[in-house]
């Protein structure tokens, strides 16, 4: 975090990005490393997404555009880490939700189709100071967290082999 009046340096930009990384790359239970879904919807592993901001910005010429583009791109990656509720139902005599056999909610590293766009921040032609950077990172953090806690519900339906004929009307 910077202090009002501070100059924006590569070090405090990288520290702000690292804070997002350590906050939102934690607690991932389901991902490519371990997933209970019938159709795999995961897109990354339990360690989340590393950030490469230090390599992406120069040591001397830091522009608002560089900051917003890099932070937004990383926030979009982090937006794929979401709360997911998985419900598995077994069909009995035509009732597709007759029995719930699985009901669990966990933080999940989802595939790209679950990402969210992240907007806001300083305009690319504006001069920003340290407090503007903090406000921008805080707003992104809030958006990432709101998305993370907005639970995605996945429902899966199974037909037990004993009832296959009656479930599908065939013998």
Residue 136 contacts by C-beta under 8 Å, 6 or more apart in sequence? 67, 68, 71, 120, 121, 122, 128
Distance CA 55, CA 37 (A): 36
For the chain, 171 residues long, give each residue's pLDDT as a single digit of tens. Answer: 555 556 677 788 888 888 888 999 999 999 999 999 999 999 989 999 988 777 777 766 677 777 788 888 899 999 999 999 999 999 988 899 999 999 999 999 999 999 998 876 665 566 666 777 788 888 889 999 999 999 999 999 988 655 555 555 544
Residue 5, pLDDT score: 53
Q: Provide the whole-model pTM.
A: 0.81
Residue 57, pLDDT score: 74
**For the sheet containing 28-30, what is the strand order?**
28-30, 95-109, 81-92, 152-159
Burial of 101 (0-12, 13-18, 19+ CB in 10 A): exposed
């Amino acid at each position: 975090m910077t202090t009002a009046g501070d100059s924006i340096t590569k070090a405090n930009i990288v520290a702000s990005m690292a804070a997002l990384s350590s906050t939102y790359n934690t607690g991932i239970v389901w991902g490519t490393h371990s997933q209970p879904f019938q159709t795999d919807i995961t897109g990354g592993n339990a360690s989340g997404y590393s950030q490469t901001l230090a390599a992406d910005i120069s040591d001397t010429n830091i522009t608002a555009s560089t900051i917003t583009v890099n932070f937004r791109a990383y926030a979009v990656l982090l937006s794929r880490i979401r709360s997911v509720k998985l419900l598995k139902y077994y069909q009995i005599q035509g009732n597709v939700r007759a029995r719930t056999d699985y009901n669990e909610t966990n933080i999940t590293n989802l595939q790209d189709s679950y990402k969210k766009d992240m907007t806001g921040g300083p305009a690319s032609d504006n001069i920003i100071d340290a407090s503007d950077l903090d406000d921008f990172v805080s707003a992104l953090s809030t958006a990432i967290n709101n998305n993370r806690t907005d639970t995605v519900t996945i429902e899966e339906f199974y037909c037990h082999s004993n009832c296959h004929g009656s479930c599908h009307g065939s013998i």
